């Protein structure tokens, strides 16, 4: 691993503006890097579904030894991401302006590219290597949701470098996520003349929300109502109201129980006030839950040790491309890269963590050769 080359590459990548659905310049740069390393490059047709200006990047390099591995990160960022200027102060990379740094997830991308390059420079033996760089991860995993999974090697382990926590962190649990949209229908009436003739959908929504278990349900389960819209004027009983929310849990049965409780509250409130409600639930992604003694997890722990890192196992309340890839039948797991305060203008990452992530990529590739 070449520290200077890695840092230069990372700083170059963060300067490429690539918000969700506008990843094409980032994709071109990464494709050039991978092509130089001998990879065959493929862009899938996911853009038609995601609305991005590029598809997911799937690159493949044949191995010189048995085994196969997938290394993954995402190319898109949140806002504000225009004009990012990275600065390094006392071993920490930050943005010089009022922008994010985009270490989420360009730290993962840079670590993969440098880790692969270093492997090719120092080892004659390598497994088949597939690099998967996705679009629209920040938009509820749209890119990986539309991925052409048949382009991935069947049965290969997939390491998604896209979590906070020091390199060596292994996300052994991440939740099943349900998104909800409920549309209440009532009856409009003049609020000052004949309010009794109206059926208020905002009252229905308020009663439903008040009856729902929300927030931290238990150590593995959460729920939230995030959006409510309804009514047109203060002197009209509102005849329509829309509510959007979510629930998630590491455990499938608890996610389903929370979903049922929220549905019951919505339907009961509509019936109580004499209105109706239409409820749409969409499973955004499925849960991941590994035992720490799972051979897959222990292989990562051994690679971390080889890279001079301490393996740490933890659960997350958020999802990543690994959740969606698992839904597709890929054996995927998320790894920490050391980014901190991501999705904010305070985002930063230690140079030492960038280097450690690249070393971990090298170790994961070597571990696959050992079998």
Do 147 and 254 share a domain, yes or no?
A: no
Do 130 and 277 share a domain, yes or no?
A: no
Residue ending a domain, among 254, 284, 314, is 284
Q: In CATH, what number is assigned to the domain containing residue 122?
A: 3.40.630.10
Span 339-356, pLDDT tens digits: 999 999 999 999 999 999
Per DSSP, which regions of 231-311 are E strands? 236-237, 240-249, 276-285, 288-289
The answer, yes or no, to whether residue 226 has pLDDT greater than 90, is yes
Q: Report the share of the chain in percent with pLDDT over 70.
A: 100
Do 301 and 366 share a domain, yes or no?
A: yes
45 CB-contact burial (10 Å; exposed 0-12 / middle 13-18 / buried 19+): exposed
Do 168 and 181 share a domain, yes or no?
A: no
Beta bridge partners of 87: 94
What does the pLDDT average to over 193-199?
98
Do 338 and 273 share a domain, yes or no?
A: no
Three-class DSSP category at 362: helix
Residue 122, Ramachandran bin (φ over 0: left; ψ between -120 and 50: alpha; else beta): alpha
Distance CA(196)–CA(191), nearest Å, equals 8
What does the pLDDT average to over 14-28?
98
Distance CA(280)–CA(301), nearest Å, equals 41
pLDDT at 208: 98
Per DSSP, which regions of the chain are E strands? 40-43, 57-61, 68-74, 86-89, 92-95, 128-134, 158-164, 169-174, 176-185, 189-190, 215-218, 221-230, 236-237, 240-249, 276-285, 288-289, 312-315, 332-339, 348-350
Which residue segment(s) compose the domain that 220 sits in?
176-284
Residue in 102, 39, 109 with CA at minimum distance from that of residue 358: 109
Do 253 and 345 share a domain, yes or no?
A: no
Q: In CATH, what number is assigned to the domain containing residue 248?
A: 3.30.70.360
Burial 188-203 (b: 16+ CB within 10 A, else e): bbeeeeeeeebbbbbb
Take residue 5 and report the two structure tokens written for it. 């080359």
Q: Give residue 301's pLDDT band: very low, low, confident or very high (50, 70, 90).
A: very high
- DSSP state letter for 153: P
Residue in 213, 212, 205 with CA at minimum distance from that of residue 182: 205
DSSP calls for 55-107: --EEEEE--SSS-EEEEEEE--B-S--TT--EEEETTEEEESSSS---HHHHH
76 is catalytic: yes
What does the pLDDT average to over 206-218?
98
Do 116 and 162 share a domain, yes or no?
A: yes
Take residue 182 and report the two structure tokens written for it. 């409920």
Residue ending a domain, among 268, 284, 300, is 284
Residue linked to tokens 């010089």: 96
CB 85 within 8 A of CB 69: no
The answer, yes or no, to whether residue 371 has pLDDT greater than 80, is no
Do 15 and 155 share a domain, yes or no?
A: yes
137 is catalytic: yes
Residue linked to tokens 């090697």: 153
Task: Given the residues 44, 104, 128, 137, select the one marked as catalytic.
Answer: 137
Q: Is the dihedral of CA 218, 312, 333, 77 positive or negative?
A: positive
Distance CA(285)–CA(68), nearest Å, equals 25
When the pLDDT of each residue in the chain is averaged and rounded to a whole number, the result is 97
The answer, yes or no, to whether residue 211 has pLDDT greater than 90, is yes
Take residue 308 and report the two structure tokens written for it. 């001079």
Distance CA(288)–CA(167), nearest Å, equals 20
Distance CA(18)–CA(12), nearest Å, equals 12
pTM here? 0.92
Do 255 and 295 share a domain, yes or no?
A: no
Span 25-81, pLDDT tens digits: 999 999 999 999 999 999 999 999 999 999 999 999 999 999 999 999 999 999 999
CB 307 within 8 A of CB 360: yes
- Give how many domains the chain has, as a whole number: 2
Do 44 and 167 share a domain, yes or no?
A: yes
Do 129 and 57 share a domain, yes or no?
A: yes
Residue linked to tokens 């020091």: 166
Take residue 74 and report the two structure tokens written for it. 């995402």
pLDDT at 294: 97
What does the pLDDT average to over 155-165?
97
What is the chain's Cα-based Rg? Answer: 23
Residue ending a domain, among 258, 284, 310, is 284
Q: Give residue 230's pLDDT band: very low, low, confident or very high (50, 70, 90).
A: very high
Span 312-335, pLDDT tens digits: 999 999 999 999 999 999 999 999
What does the pLDDT average to over 203-227?
98
Task: Given the residues 23, 44, 76, 355, select the one marked as catalytic.
Answer: 76
Do 193 and 169 share a domain, yes or no?
A: no
């Amino acid at each position: 691993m070449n520290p200077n080359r890695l840092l230069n590459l990372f700083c170059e990548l963060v300067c490429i503006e690539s918000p969700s659905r506008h990843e094409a310049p980032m994709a071109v740069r990464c494709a050039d890097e991978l092509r130089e390393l001998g990879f065959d490059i493929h862009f899938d047709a996911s853009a038609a579904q995601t609305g991005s200006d590029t598809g997911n990047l799937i690159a493949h390099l044949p191995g010189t030894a048995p085994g196969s591995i997938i290394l993954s990160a995402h190319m898109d960022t949140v806002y504000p991401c225009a004009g990012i200027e990275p600065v390094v102060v006392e071993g920490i990379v930050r943005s010089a302006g009022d922008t994010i740094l985009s270490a989420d997830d360009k730290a993962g991308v840079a670590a993969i590219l440098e880790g692969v390059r270093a492997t090719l420079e120092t080892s004659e033996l390598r497994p088949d290597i597939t690099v998967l760089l996705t679009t629209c991860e920040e938009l509820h995993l749209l890119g990986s949701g539309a991925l052409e999974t048949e382009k991935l090697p069947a049965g290969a382990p997939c390491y998604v470098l896209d979590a906070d926590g020091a390199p060596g962190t292994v996300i052994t649990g991440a939740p099943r996520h349900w998104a909800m949209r409920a549309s209440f229908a009532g009856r409009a009436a003049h609020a000052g003349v004949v309010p009794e003739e109206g059926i208020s959908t905002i009252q229905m929504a308020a009663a439903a929300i008040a009856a729902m278990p929300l927030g931290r349900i238990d150590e593995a389960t959460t729920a939230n109502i995030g959006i409510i819209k309804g009514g047109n004027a203060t002197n009209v009983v509102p005849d329509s109201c829309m509510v959007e929310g979510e629930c998630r849990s590491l455990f499938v049965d608890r996610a389903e129980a929370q979903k049922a409780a929220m549905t019951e509250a919505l339907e009961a409130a509509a019936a109580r006030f004499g209105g109706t409600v239409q409820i749409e639930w969409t499973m955004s992604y499925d849960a991941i839950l590994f035992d720490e003694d799972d051979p897959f997890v222990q292989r990562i722990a051994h690679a971390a040790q080889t890279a001079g890192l301490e393996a740490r196992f933890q659960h997350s309340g958020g999802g990543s491309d690994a959740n969606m890839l698992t839904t597709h039948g890929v054996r995927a797991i998320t790894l920490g890269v050391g980014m901190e305060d991501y999705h904010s203008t305070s985002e930063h990452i230690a140079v030492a963590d960038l280097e450690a992530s690249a070393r971990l990529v090298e170790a994961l590739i070597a571990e696959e050769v050992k079998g």
